[in-house]
Amino acid sequence: MSTPTFGTRLASELAAKRHLCVGIDPHAPLLADWGLADDAAGAERMGRDVVAAAAGVAACVKPQIAFFERFGSAGFIALERVLADARAAGVLVIADVKRGDIGSSFAAYADAWLQPGSPLEADAMTVAAYQGFGSLDGALPHVREHGKGLFVLAATSNPEAREVQLAKRADGRSVARAMLDDALAIEGVADDHVNSVGVVLGATLDLAEFGIDPAAPPARPALPVLAPGFGFQGARVEDAGKIFGGLGWALLASESRSVLAGGAEGLAARVRARADAVATALTV
Per CB under 6 A, residues contacting ligand OMP are 23, 25, 62, 64, 96, 126, 156-158, 200, 202, 228-229, 231-233, 254-258
Is 148 considered catalytic here?
no
Q: What are the Cα distances from residue 46, in Å, to 3, 25, 61, 228, 274?
A: 31, 9, 12, 20, 18
For ligand OMP, the closer CB: 8 or 258: 258
For ligand OMP, the closer CB: 198 or 228: 228
**What's the rounded Cα separation, in Å, for the pair 247 and 212?**
10
223 contacts 247 by C-beta, under 8 angstroms: yes
From 17, 98, 168, 242, the catalytic residue: 98
For ligand OMP, the closer CB: 143 or 200: 200
The three-state secondary structure class of 72 is: helix
Shortest gap between Cβ of 169 and ligand OMP (angstroms)?
20
Shortest gap between Cβ of 200 and ligand OMP (angstroms)?
5
**What's the rounded Cα separation, in Å, for the pair 94 and 226?**
10
For ligand OMP, the closer CB: 81 or 257: 257
Shortest gap between Cβ of 227 and ligand OMP (angstroms)?
8
For ligand OMP, the closer CB: 65 or 186: 65
Cβ within 8 Å of residue 162, ≥6 positions away: none
Provide DSSP, 243-257. Answer: HHGGGGGGEEEEESH
Provide DSSP, 74-133. Answer: HHHHHHHHHHHHHHHHT-EEEEEEEE--SHHHHHHHHHHHHSTT-TT--SEEEE--TT-G
Shortest gap between Cβ of 170 and ligand OMP (angstroms)?
25
**What's the rounded Cα separation, in Å, for the pair 34 and 37?**
9
**What's the rounded Cα separation, in Å, for the pair 189 and 183?**
10
What's 226's DSSP letter?
Answer: E
Shortest gap between Cβ of 240 and ligand OMP (angstroms)?
14
Which residue of the chain is nearest ligand OMP when measured via CB? 156
Catalytic residue annotation = 98
